[in-house]
Every structure is written in C-alpha cells, then in structure tokens.
C-alpha cells in the first residue's frame, strides 16, 4: 500500500520502528479489509486519546476573548511545552460554501471523524436551488401536489436567519417564490428566531424586510405571511432528547396556534422585548399571529409542511412528532395528516424524515468504520448536548455503533448554561479516566461542550468559567493518559468563546452598544483552532507539521499513524512527524 499518508519519518525513526518490530515490515495484504501497518513506526504503546474542546478558537485579539481571560494552567503548559499547530475549522475546509461561512459542530465532527471534506448542507441546498434540481425532485413535487389536493396550504418551519449553520433565509425565500409560481394559494411561515449564529438581538433585521417581501409577493391569489414563532432555545429546536418540553411548546405554537397573539411578527418581536427586557432572540417566548382572535396559520389535515433547516441535530425531534404514528414523547392533542418533508434527511439510519428535498452527503470510509475493521476498540463520551457529535456525526451521520465501539452519554443539566458553566466537564473526565484505566480501548474520544454552549449565551464571565472548567478536567484526563503510556491530541471543532464581543468591521475592535457596553457575540468565529500533541512517551520523537491547508480533516490520518497504521486512501494527509 502506498505510504501516501505524508507522515514524515527521519532515518533514525525508521531504524527505531524496525527494531520495535523485530526488523520486519509488518503489513497486511491490500485485499484485507483493514488498515495496513506502518513499516517504520509501530505506534505508541498506550492509547491515542482525542479531546475536542468545543468552541475553543485561537483569537485574533485578547480583547473580548473568554479564553484569553481564563485561568488555564493546563493549556498554558501544553502550548508552551508540546507540539502544537493551527487548523482551519471553517468555510471550505469543512465543506461550507465559502470561507466567509463559520464552521459548526456538525461539519467539524464530520471532518474529524471522516478524515475528508464533504460538501455540507448549506452548499448542497444552495446548489440545488441554483440549478433548479430541488424543484424537479420527487419530494418537492409531492409537497406541492399534496397541498393542492388539500387546502392548498404550504407551511415552512425553521430557523429564521442567514447564519448558514442550520438554515439560510434565502432558501426560504426561494421556496416561497416557487410555491407561488406553482399555484399554491397560501403560505404560512413558522419562524424560529436565531440570535445565536447571528447577532443576539438581530431578529428584526430579518423579520422586517421579510414581512415586506411577503407583502410584495402576496396578491389576490396568493397569501404569504409569518404565522408563528419564538426563540430557537425556547421552542422546537431541542436535540438529543435533552428537553422534549421545548418541542411540545413548539407543537402547540405552530400546529395548534396557541400562544401570545400579535398582529404580525414585527409587532411580536417588539412586544416580547418590551415584556421580557434583556432577553436575547434565542430565548424569546412563543408567539402566534392572529386575526379577530384566531391564529392565521394552524397546521391542518391536507396541508404540506417543510422543515427548512438543512442541519439535522435540532430537526430530528420535531420531525418525529410529525412522522411517528406511535409518537409518545408528549400529547400532541391532534396529529394532522400532512405531507411532511425536511430540507435534508436528518438521520439516514432511522430514515428521518421519509421525504426530503435535497440528498445529504453520503459520508463513507470514516475512522470509526476502518478502526473497527482493523480490530481497534474505540470509546466515545460526551454529555447530552454534544453526545451526538462524538457518535453520530463522527461516524458520518450514522446512528449505529461499529463493532468494538463503546459510547457513554453523561446526561446534561436542563438549566441555562450561563447558570452552570462547568456543565458536565468533571463527569466526562471521570468517564474518560475510567475508560483509559480499563485498558480496553486503543483509541478514545470525548467532547467538552462548555466553550460552545456557554459561549452561545453571550455571557463573558460565564464563558471564562467554562474554559477554566475544561482546563481543570483536561489536566485530570492527561494524568490518566500518562499512566497508560498513551498520547493525546487536543483540538476543537470551531471557535466561539474566543470572541465574546462583536468586532467592528472597520477598527476590528469590540463594537459598542449605545450605552457604551460591549456588544455581545453569540455566534461561532472564523478563527483557526489548535491541535496539540501531548506526548510524554516517545522521548521527543513525535511532532506536528504545520501546513497552509491543515484542517480538521487531517486529524484522522494523524490518529491512524499514532496507532501505527497507514491512513485510508480517502483520508487527508497526516500531520505527524516522527523524528
């Protein structure tokens, strides 16, 4: 098999590897369904541990960085004394349409686990709309035909912004235009306010022009209006079964038309801000648009419904509520018979939803699959908020385990993250330490969610504590790695806590509110992330290679080399140096 992994070996390393293997080149035949052994490096004696510090970017400036402000002796020691490089974690490096697009946890874990970059949801949908392929697809045609056979109503439900992490408002606009062109009489939009992947109080920047657009496109034969909504962290967009009450509240709002009533969405946002001062968009309560006391957009038998998020994790639960005949997570009161479609299929194994407008990326040849084929036992752990990322997304959007995989979920607390910024870092560390000490696993992975989940709150002090909690737990895990004779790769999936204030586009300094306070930022950043090689077992023989294109997808081959294996041919190059 070609040593195309680009791992760099010195002559001394080749002699060292040969002596460790008795002077023989150990490699399986290419026909064997497993990864070949490296001829010049036998791998580290203990486990290889991958630690993802979610939301930990490398800031351009210390001003506004919760990471810079945090007391983090473990990470300070790692950066000072161990090999470390910078990885690209946004834009085209993770399959997004352009380098102006931030990364996110889904695409980041896809890239780490797959060792490859696939075009992701945002790119797939944008291309399908641009080419017109989406309108020719069977799913869209069924949405239109189903609506016409019923009340001639199509509902669009999803995240209402241009954050391009879960959805994009331009996709929604294109579908409204197409629905009118195809003879739909009524369109109702159920708008989940963002304030997380976009500025925290930017809802009206989207609502006002979109309501104007709807007013312009509506006429005697076409009525398009926003019908309901609420903050994305308050209704509908729960994930990983963490808080089904959110989904129930969303069902009551969008389907049943229950909630505080307003004349239009602009009035709803203004009214809720007056009623709940200081509340950012993602946390605003539900609202319903009504005329004469009656909701204008309840979902009824014979309607069609499109959930227009392309990202899957926060789309699965509401999809189950629409599609599962034996649904029992909450009392739906009534379950309208609708034609339902997702923008993408959110879970390929569970076939959710059954109907989808754009085919998701077909990710194959992941590290989980090929390490399993090579007989390597694997352990994955996180708390509920990121458990799906180290399992489902890591394994290429695959729900089931591979042979030899063990997964451990630490239940997350159902409280606002800024109130408990330490989250479950200690418990994740406990689980990782126990798994390392068991000696059962050759590679282990975990995700500390703190930097991302607390960073999204916009609370600078809480985010600082979140980083400190991770640092403390990281130090404990590394002690276990030492005792087991292993190494660790410490990285992140994208930035967040590294920029807690919006930056002025001209000065690049933190932007100010009218009262002189810093304008909080709740979105991910475009900053690179670290890759640190923690190694106390090789005697300084191992290092990392910085390249201009180094990104998250290079981690897979690096892990394989540390295990003494060649990379799969599909994986991006290793960054490991063996001296």
Measure the CA–CA gap between 32 and 464, rounded to whole angstroms.
49
* C-alpha torsion sign, points 551, 553, 557, 563: positive
Measure the CA–CA gap between 348 and 1, rounded to whole angstroms.
32
CA-closest candidate to residue 58, choices 501, 554, 494, 504: 494
Which DSSP string corresponds to 263-295?
Answer: SSHHHHHHHHHHHSTT--GGGPPPEEEEETTEE
Token pair 């069977």: residue: 138
Q: Which of 105, 473, 538, 574 is the catalytic position?
A: 105
Other Cβ atoms within 10 Å of 256 Cβ, number: 17
Tell me the C-alpha to C-alpha distance, in Å, between residue 420 and each of 105, 109, 414, 457: 21, 25, 10, 12
Q: Using N-to-C axis directions, what is the helix angle for 169-181 and 203-217, rounded to 10°?
A: 10
Burial class (CB in 10 A: 0-12, 13-18, 19+), 378: buried
Q: Check: CB of residue 578 under 8 Å from CB of residue 8.
A: yes
Say which residues have a Cβ less than 8 Å from residue 461's Cβ, sequence separation at least 6. none
How distant is the alpha carbon of residue 405 from its chain centre? Answer: 22
Measure the CA–CA gap between 208 and 451, rounded to whole angstroms.
32
Q: Which uninterrupted H or E stretch holds 306?
A: strand 304-307
Q: In this structure, what token pair is assigned to residue 574?
A: 């290793």
105 is catalytic: yes
Q: In this structure, what token pair is assigned to residue 474?
A: 């990281």
Measure the CA–CA gap between 38 and 566, rounded to whole angstroms.
5
Measure the CA–CA gap between 220 and 176, rounded to whole angstroms.
16
Q: Which residues pair with 443 in a beta bridge?
A: 48, 378
Which DSSP string corresponds to 36-53?
Answer: PBPSS----SS-EEEEEE
* C-alpha torsion sign, points 312, 318, 324, 330: positive
Measure the CA–CA gap between 223 and 185, rounded to whole angstroms.
6
Q: Which residues pair with 347 in a beta bridge?
A: 352
CA-closest candidate to residue 43, choices 554, 566, 550: 566
Angle at 426 between CA 425 and CA 427, to 5 degrees: 95
Strand pairing of 529-535 and 487-491?
Answer: antiparallel
Q: Check: CB of residue 445 under 8 Å from CB of residue 379.
A: yes
Phi, psi (deg, nearest 5) at residue 67: -70, -45
The residues annotated as belonging to the active site are 105
């Amino acid at each position: 098999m070609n040593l195309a992994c680009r791992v760099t070996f010195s002559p001394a390393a080749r002699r060292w590897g040969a002596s460790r293997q008795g002077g023989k080149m150990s490699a399986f035949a290419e026909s064997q369904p497993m990864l070949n052994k490296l001829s010049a490096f036998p791998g580290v004696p203990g486990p290889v541990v991958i630690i993802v510090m979610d939301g930990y970017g490398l800031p351009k400036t210390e001003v506004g960085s919760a990471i810079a402000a945090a007391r983090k002796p473990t990470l300070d020691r790692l950066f000072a004394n161990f090999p470390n490089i910078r990885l690209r974690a946004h834009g085209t490096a993770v399959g997004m349409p352009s380098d102006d697009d931030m990364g996110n946890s889904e695409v980041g874990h896809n890239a780490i686990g797959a060792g490859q970059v696939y075009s992701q949801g945002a790119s797939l949908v944008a291309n399908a709309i641009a080419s017109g392929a989406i309108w020719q697809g069977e799913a869209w045609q069924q949405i239109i035909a189903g609506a016409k056979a019923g009340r001639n109503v199509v509902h669009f439900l999803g995240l209402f912004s241009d954050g391009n992490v879960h959805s994009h408002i331009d996709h929604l606009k294109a579908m409204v235009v197409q629905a009118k062109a195809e003879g739909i009489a009524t369109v109702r939009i159920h708008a989940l306010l963002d304030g997380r992947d976009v500025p925290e109080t930017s809802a009206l920047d989207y609502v006002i022009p979109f309501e104007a657009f709807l007013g312009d496109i509506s006429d005697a034969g076409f009525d398009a209006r926003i019908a309901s909504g609420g903050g994305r962290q308050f209704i509908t967009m729960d994930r990983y079964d963490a808080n089904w009450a959110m989904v129930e509240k969303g069902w009551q709002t969008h389907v049943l038309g229950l909630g505080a009533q307003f004349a239009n969405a602009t009035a709803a946002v203004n009214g809720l801000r007056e009623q709940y001062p200081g509340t950012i968009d993602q946390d605003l309560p539900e609202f319903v648009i009504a005329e004469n006391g009656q909701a204008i957009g309840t979902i009824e038998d014979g309607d069609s419904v499109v959930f227009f998020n392309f990202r899957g994790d926060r789309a699965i639960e509401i999809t189950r509520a629409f599609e599962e005949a034996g649904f029992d997570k909450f009392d739906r009161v009534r379950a309208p018979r609708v034609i339902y479609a997702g923008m993408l299929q959110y879970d390929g194994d569970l076939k959710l939803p059954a109907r989808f407008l754009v085919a998701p990326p077909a990710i194959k040849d992941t590290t989980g699959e090929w390490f399993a084929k090579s007989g390597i036992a694997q352990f994955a752990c996180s708390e509920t908020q990121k458990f799906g990322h180290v399992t489902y997304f890591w394994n290429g959007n695959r729900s089931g385990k591979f042979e030899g995989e063990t997964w451990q979920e630490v239940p997350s607390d159902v409280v606002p993250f800024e109130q408990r910024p330490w989250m479950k870092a200690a418990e994740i560390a406990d689980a990782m330490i126990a798994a390392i000490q068991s000696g059962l696993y050759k590679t282990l992975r975990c995700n500390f969610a703190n930097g991302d989940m607390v960073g999204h709150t916009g609370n600078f002090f809480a985010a600082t504590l979140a980083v400190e909690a991770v640092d403390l737990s990281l130090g404990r895990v590394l002690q276990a790695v030492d005792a087991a004779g292993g190494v660790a790769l410490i990285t992140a999936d994208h930035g967040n806590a590294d920029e807690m204030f919006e930056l002025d586009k001209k000065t690049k300094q933190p932007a100010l509110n009218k009262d002189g306070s810093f304008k909080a930022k709740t979105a991910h950043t475009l900053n690179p992330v670290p890759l640190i090689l923690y190694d106390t077992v090789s005697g300084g023989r191992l290092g990392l290679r910085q390249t201009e294109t180094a990104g998250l997808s290079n981690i897979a081959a690096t892990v394989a080399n540390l295990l003494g294996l060649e990379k799969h041919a599909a994986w991006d190059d290793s960054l490991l140096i063996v001296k």
